[in-house]
Amino acid sequence: MYRNKLLAFILAITLAQASFGQMLNNSPYTRYGLGEVMSTSTAPFSGFGGLSTPIANFKFVNVSNPATYSSLARYNPIFDVAVYGKLSTLKTENESVKNSTFVLRNFTLALPIGKKWGAAFGLMPYSTTGYNITDYQVLDGDSIANNYIGDGSINRAFIGTGCNMINQGDTLKLSVGVNASYLFGTLERERNVVFSNSTFYNTKVQEKNALRGMSFDGGIHFYQKISTDLSWQFGATYSFGSDLKTSQDFYAYTYKYQLGVVEDEKDTIDFYDNVQGLTTLPTGFSAGVAVNYKKWMFGGQYEYKNWHQFKEVVNAIDLTEQPLKQSNKFTLGFEYKPSAAYGDKNKSIFKKSIYRIGFHYGNTPIEIDSTQLTNFGMNLGISVPLISSRSLSMMNIGIGIGKMGTTDNNLIQENYFKIFFGFSMGPSNYDKWFRKRKYD
């Protein structure tokens, strides 16, 4: 157990260092809204394509549905840490460019507090922004470069709890739960207009938005065992809309280039610090069903968010750059577990591992030139037990390939490869938590 704790600690420190000093995303579509909104699914569910709402598994932390916290095994807390990487190719009809990012995905600790009650808390990203786009045009014979740059992230620190309203052992369970999240972070945006004629003054606009505020989501989970080999689960969640307090710094000025690279500022067009506003987040829901039959599990899930509600208002002025659309996502997932019995010492590591495959398709909230962008892909995953620890600890790996957007109508298509890598760490059989001992 101490070796596992040391491994998790070293991994966490290494990943935290790797996450600083680099752009957390590299997609032109993160220019809209708050950037790429990250799923709350932890690494074990990445192989499902994000299918998680209907699944309660005592070996893993399911942040997507807080009602599942009550399903944790008694005396067995789970610590989950993971990283996330993305390799992408951005394509137009005429050219392409490759990008890569690598960031910390989550720190999460789930605690079984009683027979009917569990809790979890942790830290994970809510959204990431990273883009550098240049659009060229010719006006009256002069070439003009319009450059758009953005960077930053919104983080989520959360605490949640779930409890069983009905608990009939392994036969029937009904649970409810809630997550309370504190969102905080900074987004920086910059717009440049640069003339090829060196006698003209260029223009630059810089914005820095610091956001903070609370958000809440609730969940319900139902489990029923029909026979020895057959059971099914249902889960649903609802995300409440919220307003994040926004503090904006703004600076707009004109300049020329000295020696072609150094800015020589001329006039300040506008300037202000710490102007207050609100950023409105949308409501949304998800619902799904999973069926367990012997060593197999398969399920489906639907997610919806009303991003049309998203607004950025500063100093009573609506600064939303482009209205967003309602988004939805359909997910199908399959799992195979060769060894159904936990703790069977006669099975090989390959038979004790859990294998997953998932597919997803949906409309993103981004619409450009009357074209709403779609995102679809396939995922594979595996959870490998750390046998030497004699615990519930597992190494989780998930990969995904997919496509977002299109090259039609002069748009950009993003082909991506994603990888999730992490550990779900639990105490050994000799180191249970919250157990009252007869002898000290």
Q: pLDDT 10s per residue in the chain (440 long)?
A: 444 444 444 444 444 444 444 556 788 899 999 999 999 989 999 999 899 999 999 989 999 999 999 999 888 899 999 999 999 999 988 888 898 888 888 999 999 998 889 999 999 999 999 999 888 887 777 788 899 999 999 999 999 999 999 999 889 999 999 999 999 999 999 999 998 887 889 999 999 999 999 999 999 999 999 999 999 999 999 999 999 999 999 999 999 887 667 788 889 999 999 999 999 999 999 999 999 999 999 999 999 999 999 999 998 888 887 889 999 999 999 999 987 555 556 667 888 899 999 999 999 999 988 889 999 999 999 999 886 656 678 999 999 999 999 888 888 899 999 999 999 988 766 555 555 555 55
Q: Which residues contact 13 (CB under 8 A, 6 or more apart)?
A: none
The phi, psi pair for 408, rounded to 5°, reads: -70, 155
Render the burial of 240-256: b for 16+ CB within 10 Å, e for the rest: eebebebbbbbbbbbbe
CA angle 358/177/360 to nearest 5° reads 15
Q: Is 262 exposed, middle or buried (0-12, 13-18, 19+ CB in 10 A)?
A: exposed
d(C-alpha 277, C-alpha 251), whole Å: 17
Residue 10 pLDDT: 43
d(C-alpha 154, C-alpha 183), whole Å: 6
Structure tokens, 201: 């003054």
CA angle 7/10/15 to nearest 5° reads 120
Identify any residues that bridge with 155 across adjacent strands, giving them in sequence order.
125, 184
Residue 339 pLDDT: 77
Residue 17 pLDDT: 43
CA-nearest of 86, 76, 69 to 30 is 86
CA-nearest of 234, 114, 122 to 163 is 114
Task: Write the single-letter amino acid at 323.
Answer: P
pTM, entire model: 0.88
d(C-alpha 223, C-alpha 220), whole Å: 10
Residue 187 pLDDT: 95
Q: Are 189 and 149 in contact (CB under 8 A)?
A: yes
Handedness of CA 404, 187, 203, 316 (dihedral sign): positive
d(C-alpha 192, C-alpha 134), whole Å: 9
Q: Is 280 exposed, middle or buried (0-12, 13-18, 19+ CB in 10 A)?
A: middle
Task: Write the single-letter amino acid at 430.
Answer: Y
d(C-alpha 128, C-alpha 92), whole Å: 23
Q: Are 365 and 304 in contact (CB under 8 A)?
A: no
Identify any residues that bridge with 159 across adjacent strands, giving them in sequence order.
121, 180
Identify any residues that bridge with 107 across adjacent strands, giving them in sequence order.
81, 123
Q: Are 398 and 419 in contact (CB under 8 A)?
A: yes
Assign 3-state DSSP to the chain and report helix, strand, coil percentages, each to 5.
10, 60, 30
Identify any residues that bridge with 33 across adjacent strands, giving them in sequence order.
none
Q: Which residues contact 176 (CB under 8 A, 6 or more apart)?
A: 67, 162, 163, 165, 218, 219, 220, 221
CA-nearest of 284, 213, 210 to 242 is 213
SS3 call for 334: strand
